[in-house]
Amino acid sequence: MGKALIICTSVSHGNTRRVAEAMGEVLAAPVVSPDEADGLDDYDLIGFGSGIFLQKFHPRLREFVASLPRQQGRAFVFATSGLPSPRLSPMARLLEGKGFEVADTFSCRGFDTWAPFKLVGGIRKGRPDGTDLAAARSFAGGLERT
């Protein structure tokens, strides 16, 4: 297993950052924001994650990936979202378009205070929880073996 890096935009509640840190522990990967990400060529595996906003990855992450030059190496995609089954494939396609081989994707629920849910105090309070973070660690462990 070579060097790994995790690039994460987590602006709403830090939900995705917590997932990223759990994965980062397993992969010995630093977790950075797109602004901090540098020298991508040095890494064999790079994770890209954010919360889901209006059914899409955060624009900052999408714009960062869109602006990358041609890449090689492996990538993975992850997200937290209030609602189940977020669409992860657009980010995977974007990365593949840049030349990455997308190894796998991961998502879990995250505390969500999007306007309609704010009225009821938000949904998925406490998420990601210990079970979600354990699943994130297990996902990261699986990446090491693929």
Ligand X SMILES: Cc1cc2nc3c(=O)[nH]c(=O)nc-3n(C[C@H](O)[C@H](O)[C@H](O)COP(=O)(O)O)c2cc1C
Number of residues that this document lists for the chain: 146
Give, as ranges, the residues between 83 and 122 that touch ligand X (CB under 6 A).
83, 86, 110-114
Identify which range of 21-29, 31-39, 45-53, 65-73 contacts ligand X by CB under 6 A.
45-53
For strand 31-32 and strand 4-9, is the pairing parallel, antiparallel, or unpaired? parallel
Hey, how many other C-beta atoms are within 10 angstroms of the C-beta on 20?
A: 28
**Interaction pattern, residues 10-29, with ligand X; x per rule: CB under 6 A:** xxxxxxxx------------
Sites for ligand X among residues 51-70 (CB under 6 A)? 51-55
CA distance 31 to 17: 8
Nearer to ligand X, 71 or 80 (CB): 80
CA 136 to chain centre: 10
- When asked if residue 132 is in the footprint of ligand X (CB under 6 A), the reply is no
What's the sign of the alpha-carbon dihedral 139, 143, 144, 145? positive
User: Considering beta carbons, is residue 71 or 111 the nearer one to ligand X?
Assistant: 111
List contacts with ligand X (CB under 6 A). 10-17, 51-55, 80-83, 86, 110-114
